[in-house]
Amino acid sequence: MLISIVIPTHNRPALLLEAVHSVAKQSYPNFEVVVVDDGSEPPILQSDLEEILGKRVLLCRHDLARGVPKAKNAGVNAAHGEIILLLDDDDLLAPDALTNIFYAFSNYPKIDCLFLGVRPFGQYADEPAKSRHAALSNVLNKLKPEEHDEIYFFSEELFDALLVTVPIDFQRPAARRGIWNIVGGFDENSLFSESTWAIRAASVGKIALTKKPQTEWRIHDSNFGWTSGLDLDQITRRQIDNGISSGANLLKKFDEEEKTWNFRAKKIRKYHSDQLFSKAYYLRDKDWSEGVKALLNSFILSPRPIHLKLAIKYFIPL
């Protein structure tokens, strides 16, 4: 099973190399790394990455910075693996993370997306660690997911819980290619698009979460996207505005899907109705009661003039 690790990066070469080293130390051997250089100056060099990873690295380059969501989407689109996961350029993978991911997907084939437990670290990690623990505990205590092999397995109720809050652990997905295709990429109009993606994934897929941390979340003074130099008030207001934008885009996406499925459901109802009508037409002279039942069900599904015409033949035979 090939696992693709997508790492978007912008102007943090030293931290990027730390992240890459954490991948190179993995106990699981069958992986590739897709680094998306989102307009770094100077550009990231392929040779620096290959010195650590050999030929298992693919470097994509944006000449101008396009933002975190677009960089992540570019990496997912370029990946070749059966399983695709995201790793921020300032974060680290635990040494057995890929091994644990491999066994989770191999042993539990119904899993569509495995979110990776997070351990905050760094000089500012104390408060985020407390907030992370409280948010995750709230979800776990409310939903009481099944537990097997150090993995939490969630029911459809996870969707409702994530609408209230999306703990950081649900912002680190490792997912089958199929669910990436269904859910789509990250919301490119939002700086904090991982939450929206998690909600959409929970609406369509079987979701699990590792109990033990598989990623190391570095807490420092530029954890809020590529832009730096913002004060606390600016950061807070940007988070609020992006939360509103994400909610609007999420609602738009679900509205579009609802229209699509309603249109398809209408076509399916007509198809089903046509099959019942054919049965009613065939049984008119063979089994009157079964024929009438089929005709009535056909009419209920998709009423049309042909039902009246056949009903006349049933009740006023020539």
d(CA 107, CA 109): 6
Q: pLDDT at position 229, please? A: 56
pLDDT, averaged across the chain: 90
> Tell me: the pLDDT tens digits for 131-140?
999 999 999 9
Q: pLDDT at position 235, please? A: 59
Is a pLDDT exceeding 60 seen at residue 39? yes
Average pLDDT score over residue span 18-42: 96
Average pLDDT score over residue span 176-182: 94
Place of tokens 């931290």: 15
Average pLDDT score over residue span 266-272: 91
Q: Is 144 left (phi over 0), alpha (psi -120 to 50) or beta?
A: left
Range in 89-98, 108-117, 223-232, 284-293 the model is least confident about: 223-232
The residues, any chain, with a CB within 8 Å of residue 203's CB and separated by 6 or more, are 159, 254
Average pLDDT score over residue span 214-236: 69
The full DSSP string for the chain is --EEEEEEESS-HHHHHHHHHHHHT-S---EEEEEEEES-SSPPPHHHHHHHHTT-EEEEEESS---HHHHHHHHHHH---SEEEE--TT-EE-TTHHHHHHHHHHH-TT-SEEEEEEEEESTT-HHHHHHHHHHHHHHHHHH--EEETTEEE--TTHHHHHHH---GGGGSEEEEHHHHHHH-S--TT-S--HHHHHHHHHHHS-EEEEEEEEEEEE--TT-SSS-----HHHHHHHHHHHHHHHHHHHHHHHHHHHHHHHHHHHHHHHHHHHHHHHHHHHHTTT-HHHHHHHHHHHHHHS--HHHHHHHHHHHS--
Is a pLDDT exceeding 90 seen at residue 250? no
Question: What's the pLDDT band for 123 if we cut at 50, 70, 90?
Answer: confident
Average pLDDT score over residue span 147-159: 95
Lookup: tokens for 236:
């807070």
Which amino acid, 217? W
Is a pLDDT exceeding 90 seen at residue 175? yes
Phi, psi for 5 (deg, rounded to 5) = -110, 115
- Residue pair 19/6 in contact by the 8 Å Cβ criterion: no
Answer CATH for 3-229 from 3.90.550.10, 3.40.50.10130, 3.90.280.10, 3.40.50.2300: 3.90.550.10
Range in 174-183, 224-233, 280-289 the model is least confident about: 224-233
Question: What's the pLDDT band for 226 if we cut at 50, 70, 90?
Answer: very low
Range in 44-48, 236-240, 302-306 the model is least confident about: 236-240
Which carries the bigger pLDDT value, residue 149 or residue 243?
149
Question: What's the pLDDT band for 272 if we cut at 50, 70, 90?
Answer: very high
d(CA 311, CA 318): 12
Question: What's the pLDDT band for 188 if we cut at 50, 70, 90?
Answer: confident
Is a pLDDT exceeding 80 seen at residue 292? yes
- Give me the percent of the chain exceeding a pLDDT of 90: 72
> Tell me: the pLDDT tens digits for 89-112?
999 999 999 999 999 999 999 999
> Hey, how many other C-beta atoms are within 10 angstroms of the C-beta on 295?
23
- By DSSP bridging, strand 173-176 and strand 83-86 are antiparallel
Average pLDDT score over residue span 73-82: 96
Average pLDDT score over residue span 286-311: 94
Is a pLDDT exceeding 80 seen at residue 237? no
Is a pLDDT exceeding 50 seen at residue 234? yes
- Residue pair 213/150 in contact by the 8 Å Cβ criterion: no
Q: pLDDT at position 259, please? A: 84
Question: What's the pLDDT band for 71 if we cut at 50, 70, 90?
Answer: very high
What residue segments make up the domains of the chain, in order of their start?
3-229, 258-315
Q: pLDDT at position 262, please? A: 86
Range in 76-90, 114-128, 227-241 the model is least confident about: 227-241
